[in-house]
Structure 1
Amino acid sequence: MINQNTKIKATGRYLRLSVTKANRILDQIRGKSYQEAKLILQFLPYRSCLEIAKILDSAVANAENNKGLQKQTLKIETAFVNQGPKMKRFQPRAQGRAFPIHKPTCHITIGLVSRNDK
């Protein structure tokens, strides 16, 4: 028998997004059902929505294939972002100088829980 509060998670690592921009999207979908979150991600105009939607779909696929749950019963319990390593590059400047450029990466984790409305 399936536990009533089964927890499933999916993680996207080393994504070329900044932490603050990813967190802005995750705040919108935290606590929502899968259908609501998918709809929100579809219509928000940010680039990070595509990556977050892929991670959400991966978590749902984990729930369906590994735990045998339906996507109608899934709810986003946790959604958080951690800072990844920064890629360090240099931009040439005048008189032989170099200007540092830091390209941020992040790790996004989405945790789902099954809510049975029976």
Structure 2
Amino acid sequence: MIKRNRTRIYALGQHIPMSAHKARRVIDQIRGRSYEETLMILELMPYRASYSIFKLVYSAAANASDNMGSDETNLIICRAEVNEGTSVKKLKPRARGRSYPIKRPTCHISIVVEDISLYEGEYLIDPYIHKDYLASLKKPSYLLKIKKPRWKKRYTDMIDENVYSSGGLWDKK
């Protein structure tokens, strides 16, 4: 039996010249998705951060196929995080010989991919089971199918109310 103890491969981008807040906006959309779906999402997003993240995801997949020999169709983004880096500080000349400080923020982005072909079968788990039991399964949380609560309604009536005609929001005077 061959035991693979290293199933996660990562790519790390440091000192990327953008704020961490703008990069997190894109990272939150791709976390937990498959590799192919992630590339499609990043190509269609209009943000400047998506190009840097696209390169990192592509690099992480290349690392996984080179180091583990895994197929790119089986890869999933299991962890993606953005941390703040150092700020590049500059001085801009202003009137009367004064200077004005400019801070250019940077960020560190790490993308971790995992090969899901190493796990056979999926568990069907109630979402209200104790957390220690879930940790003892040694499986990533995105592979667990979670049951929906029984009390959740399947059909909900949509309330069609016009706020303006019922006088709810504005008083026209």
State the partner residue of 2:37.
36
C-alpha separation between the residues in 1 aligned to 2:81 and 2:107? Answer: 10
State the partner residue of 2:133.
none
State the partner residue of 1:104.
105
> For residues 47-70 of structure 1, what are the alpha-carbon distances to aligned partners after superposition, in whole Å with 9 as ceiling and x for unaligned?
111110000011000000010000
State the partner residue of 2:46.
45
Query: TM-score scaled to structure 2, two decimals?
Result: 0.65
- Structure 1 unaligned blocks of 5 or more: none
**Cα root mean square deviation, aligned:** 1.6
- Structure 1 outlier segments of 4+, above 6 Å: none
Percent identical pairs in the alignment equals: 42
Q: Which has the higher strand share?
A: 1
C-alpha separation between the residues in 1 aligned to 2:78 and 2:6? Answer: 11
Query: Paired residues, what number?
Result: 118
Amino acid corresponding to residue 114 of structure 1 in structure 2 = D
Q: Confirm or deny that 1:62 pairs with 2:63.
A: yes
C-alpha separation between the residues in 2 aligned to 1:17 and 1:67? Answer: 32
Amino acid corresponding to residue 70 of structure 2 in structure 1 = L
**How many angstroms does 1:5 deviate by?**
7.7
- Does the 8 A contact of 1:5 with 1:114 survive in 2? no
Q: Which has the higher helix share?
A: 1
C-alpha separation between the residues in 2 aligned to 1:29 and 1:46? Answer: 14
- Does the 8 A contact of 1:30 with 1:76 survive in 2? yes
Instruction: Tell me which structure has the larger Cα radius of gyration.
Output: 2
**How many angstroms does 1:91 deviate by?**
1.1
